Structure 1
């Protein structure tokens, strides 16, 4: 099955099949060497996370500076030379009340802004595109439930070593050597500005599906169904990786999502249905078992 997926990816790259849906797409969401901040935010969810992070950073910076200033004042004002006779009191009620109430106020203030951000992530809207995601050791299976087809997605470069053969595979799929360990042979394709709802589960151990630029992360737990949603606002290629330690090849379980125009998505969808829907062997293993039952 894995060999079949690799051959189909290479064939799509060389023959420009509609299922490729990659031509002209900018690679936006990926790790950058020396990067310190977040990846570009391309969803409302991620913009909320970035805003919340910046707000909390301001608050904790102010608290850290205030505490540092108090410590410096105490060191200067109450050292042995400046204060040879230490005070004998054991407590100060106003200060004790203040250092109890002020942190409570700060935490309530942060919570008043962070909880709505969390609730927005967990309140799943009606999906315009619905995809079931299944985590396996160590690859992903995707089923477009609205159209009853599915496929599996593997790391490009089975040997996990960057050599000429792997570079050729990457270039055949439309990537460069910089996308090694990030690119997959088959990508999730979704239209821009459409609400995508993903139902996430695991087939063997706990995995986690995440795309940092979308601000989404959901554990894939065997025997349970969980959901996430996003609405990508910019066309491009976005990368993620399994974010739950799941075994020896955890680091080699990338995720590739291509956000395309609605016209390109319709063309890809037609090609994907023709390519996958008529062949049950292209469905993820869990789907094949369900079909057999």
Structure 2
């Protein structure tokens, strides 16, 4: 999945985590829209109102309302946010572990559970595209193939500078730091191609190290493994 022109919402989710992030985004935007409309209505009413209130300098009821209402609004935003934060850090037993290594300026992948399955993933040009067509500056020559309906652990690191392994439609963003291993666990719920890019300004060719995940069925993934081993 990728963004299209004039798309004002999040990308279509491909993981349960991204679904929760989309719900949280929509919930928060609705609250902000309601607050903006109420404040705009009150400001317009004040401008065009010719009457005055002799109790304007002190009104306990109004002060009570504008103290309690913002606190309740913050709770409506904070509670779902805390839930998603805990979901992001939740560690489950993975079915498959992948190691992603950032370089200047490409990614390399290692299937840690299998021997001799590792490859580099460079930006694809017209001559080395994975298929007959490719998205400019988004496709790669070797896509990361993963099975859906499986718990996948991604271990991310770097060999030189700080990179960031990011897939927007999956709700994933992990820093690749030299000398440090960061991890995240995700669950793909459907097949497809999911595009991402390094989200850290890592050098002059920062915009030329995209990420592509090809999500396939577990049976197809097993067949793919047999061809690789």
* TM-score after normalising by structure 2: 0.92
Instruction: Provide the C-alpha distance between the structure 1 equivalents of 2:53 and 2:88, rounded to a whole number of angstroms.
Output: 54
Structure ranking higher in strand proportion: 2
SS of 1:61's equivalent in the other structure is helix
Counterpart selection for 1:140 from 103, 107, 126:
107
1:233-286 Cα offsets, whole Å, 9 max, x none, are: 11111111111111111111100111111121111112222xxxxxxxxxxxxx
Would the aligned equivalents of 1:175 and 1:183 in 2 still touch at CA under 8 Å? no
Evaluate the alpha carbon distance shift between residue 88 and residue 100 of structure 1 in structure 2; reply closer, same or farther with a 3 A threshold. closer
Cα offset, 1:153, TM superposition: 0.7
CA distance in 2 between counterparts of 1:70 and 1:250 reads: 47
Structure 1 counterpart of 2:128: 169
Aligned to 1:123: 90
Moved over 4 A (4+): 85-91
- Aligned residue for 2:123? 155
**Map of 1:63-78 to 2, 5 A cutoff?**
63-77=35-49
Structure ranking higher on relative contact order (CA contacts 8 Å, 6+ apart): 1
Whole-angstrom distance in 2 between the partners of 1:59 and 1:254:
35
Length-normalised TM-score, structure 1? 0.73
Identify the residue that residue 173 of structure 2 maps to in structure 1. 217
Which of the two has greater helix per residue?
1
- The number of aligned residues is 228
What residue in structure 2 maps to residue 288 of structure 1?
Answer: none
Structure 2 match to 1:195: 151
C-alpha distance in 1, partners of 2:58/2:156?
Answer: 54
CA deviation map 1:39-92 (0-9, x unaligned): 221211111111111111111111110110110111111xxxx25x88696444
Q: Which ranges of structure 1 fall in alignment gaps of 5 or more residues?
A: 1-28, 158-165, 274-293
CA contact (8 A) 1:216 1:229 kept: no
**Would you say 1:232 and 2:204 are equivalent positions?**
no
Alpha carbons of 1:217 and 1:175: their partners in 2 closer, same or farther (altered >3 Å)? Answer: farther
Residue equivalent to 1:55? 27
Would the alpha carbon gap of residues 76 and 251 (structure 1) be closer, same or farther in structure 2, given more than 3 Å must change? same
Contact 1:142 1:150 in 2 (8 A): yes
Q: Which has the larger radius of gyration?
A: 1
Separation (CA, whole Å) in 1 of partners of 2:189 and 2:55? 64
**2:9 aligned with 1:42, yes or no?**
no
In the alignment, which of 76, 81, 88 is matched to residue 114 of structure 1? 81
Cα RMSD, aligned residues only: 1.9
Q: List gaps (5 residues or longer) in structure 2.
A: none
User: 1:272 and 2:216 equivalent?
Assistant: no
Distance 2:132 2:107 in 1: 19
